[in-house]
Structure 1
Amino acid sequence: MIRVGFIVNPYAGLGGSVGLKGTDGCIKEAFARGAVPHAPEKAIRFLSSLSRNDFYFLTAGGEMGEAELTSLGILHECVYRSDLSESDPLLKTSATDTKHACNEMIRQGVHVIVFAGGDGTARDIFSCTRHNIPILGIPAGVKIYSGVFATTPIAAAQILSEWNLTSLGDGEVMDVNEEEYRNGVLDTHLFGFAKVPSSPVHCQSSKQISFGDESHERQEIARFIVEIMRDDTLYLLGAGTTTQAIADMLGISKTLLGIDAIYQKQVVGSDVNEQDILRLLKIYNKVKIIISPIGAQGFILGRGNQQISSTVLSNAGIDSLIVIATDEKMKRTQNLFIDTGDPDLNSKFGETILVVCGYRIGTRVRLNH
Structure 2
Amino acid sequence: MRKAIGLLVNPIAGMGGAVGLSGTDGKLEEALRRGAVPRAAARAVEALSRLGGEEIHWYTAAAPMGEDVLAAAGIDRFTVLYRPASPTTAADTKAACRAFLDAGVDLILFCGGDGTARDVFDAVGRSVPILGIPAGVKMYSAVFAVNPAAAAELLRLAGEIPCRDSEVMDVDEEAYRSGRLAARLYGYACVPYIPERTQGGKQVFEEQDEERAKDAIAAFIAEIMLPDTLYIIGAGSTTARIMERLGLTPTLLGVDVVRNGEVLARNADEWTLFALLERYPRAKIIVSPIGAQGFVLGRGNQQISPAVLRRAGLSNLIVVATPGKLQATPVLYVDTGDPALDREVGETLLVVSGYRLGQRKRVVHAD
For normalisation by structure 1, the TM-score amounts to 0.96
Contact 1:51 1:161 in 2 (8 A): no
Counterpart amino acid of 1:305? N
Contact 2:142 2:201 in 1 (8 A): yes
Q: Name the structure 2 match of 1:15.
A: 16
Contact 2:49 2:74 in 1 (8 A): no
**How big is the shift at 1:198?**
2.5
Counterpart amino acid of 1:10? P
Find the aligned partners of 1:269 and 1:326 in 2 and give their Cα distance: 26
CA-based RMSD of the aligned residues comes to 1.1
Q: Name the structure 2 match of 1:88.
A: none
Find the aligned partners of 1:316 and 1:113 in 2 and give their Cα distance: 39
**How big is the shift at 1:95?**
0.9
Q: How do residues 58-137 of structure 1 correspond to structure 2 at under 5 angstroms?
A: 58-74=59-75, 75-82=77-84, 84-85=85-86, 91=87, 93-137=88-132
Q: How do residues 198-213 of structure 1 correspond to structure 2 at under 5 angstroms?
A: 198-213=193-208
Per-residue CA deviations over 1:47-101 (Å, capped at 9, x if unaligned) read 012375111100000111101111233111111011x23xxxxx2x111111111
Per-residue CA deviations over 1:119-153 (Å, capped at 9, x if unaligned) read 00000000011111110000000010000000000
Does the alignment pair 1:285 with 2:254?
no
Q: Name the structure 2 match of 1:232.
A: 228
**How big is the shift at 1:164?**
2.1
Q: Name the structure 2 match of 1:146.
A: 141
Contact 2:52 2:74 in 1 (8 A): no
Find the aligned partners of 2:165 and 2:30 in 1 and give their Cα distance: 35
Q: Name the structure 2 match of 1:171.
A: 166
**How big is the shift at 1:23?**
0.3
Find the aligned partners of 1:36 and 1:71 in 2 and give their Cα distance: 18
Find the aligned partners of 1:297 and 1:50 in 2 and give their Cα distance: 26
Percent identical residues: 50
Find the aligned partners of 1:108 and 1:285 in 2 and give their Cα distance: 55
Does the alignment pair 1:309 with 2:311?
no
Find the aligned partners of 1:139 and 1:286 in 2 and give their Cα distance: 32
Q: Name the structure 2 match of 1:197.
A: 192
**How big is the shift at 1:165?**
5.6
**How big is the shift at 1:365?**
0.8
Contact 2:161 2:194 in 1 (8 A): no
Find the aligned partners of 1:51 and 1:215 in 2 and give their Cα distance: 49
Per-residue CA deviations over 1:320-358 (Å, capped at 9, x if unaligned) read 210000111100111100001000111111101110111
Contact 2:214 2:241 in 1 (8 A): yes
For normalisation by structure 2, the TM-score amounts to 0.97
**How big is the shift at 1:247?**
1.3
Relative to structure 1, the CA distance from residue 102 to residue 165 in structure 2 (aligned partners, 3 Å threshold; closer, same or farther) is farther
Find the aligned partners of 2:290 and 2:71 in 1 and give their Cα distance: 36
Contact 1:223 1:359 in 2 (8 A): yes
Find the aligned partners of 1:346 and 1:198 in 2 and give their Cα distance: 22
Does the alignment pair 1:243 with 2:239?
yes
Per-residue CA deviations over 1:266-317 (Å, capped at 9, x if unaligned) read 2111111111101111111211010100000000000000000111111111
Contact 1:239 1:255 in 2 (8 A): yes
**How big is the shift at 1:211?**
3.1
Find the aligned partners of 1:198 and 1:274 in 2 and give their Cα distance: 33
Find the aligned partners of 1:315 and 1:137 in 2 and give their Cα distance: 31
Counterpart amino acid of 1:163? A
Counterpart amino acid of 1:27? L
Find the aligned partners of 2:52 and 2:345 in 1 and give their Cα distance: 26
1:254 partner SS: coil
Find the aligned partners of 1:251 and 1:118 in 2 and give their Cα distance: 34
Gaps of 5+ in 1: 86-90
**How big is the shift at 1:197?**
1.4
2:131 partner SS: strand
1:136 partner SS: strand
Does the alignment pair 1:324 with 2:320?
yes
Contact 1:111 1:165 in 2 (8 A): no
Does the alignment pair 1:362 with 2:358?
yes
Gaps of 5+ in 2: none
**How big is the shift at 1:200?**
2.4
Contact 2:205 2:324 in 1 (8 A): no
Does the alignment pair 1:342 with 2:348?
no
2:318 partner SS: strand
